[in-house]
């Protein structure tokens, strides 16, 4: 749970950027034939993208 606490503490732009970078990085891996690696990187990117949105406190205007 420490990772998610750290992840939520970052700016939403940085969180979206890292998630999208991982998703984009999975495409050349897939094209090179590294299917399992591509799927793992893509799954990590999708999971991080899922948690990249602003938290409830950020939506209300509070910033830690």
Residue 20 in contact with residue 45, Cβ under 8 Å?
yes
pTM of the model: 0.73
pLDDT by residue (tens digit) across 7-60? 777 888 898 999 999 999 999 988 988 888 889 999 999 988 888 877 666 666
Instruction: Report the distance separating Cα 6 and Cα 45, nearest Å.
Output: 16
Instruction: Report the distance separating Cα 34 and Cα 59, nearest Å.
Output: 39
- Sorted by where each begins, the domain ranges of the chain are 11-53
């Amino acid at each position: 749970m420490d990772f998610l606490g750290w992840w939520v503490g970052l700016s939403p732009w940085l969180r979206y950027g890292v998630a999208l970078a991982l998703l984009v990085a999975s495409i050349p891996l897939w094209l090179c034939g590294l299917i399992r690696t591509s799927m793992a990187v893509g799954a990590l990117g999708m999971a991080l993208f899922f948690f990249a949105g602003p938290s409830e406190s950020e939506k209300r205007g509070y910033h830690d």
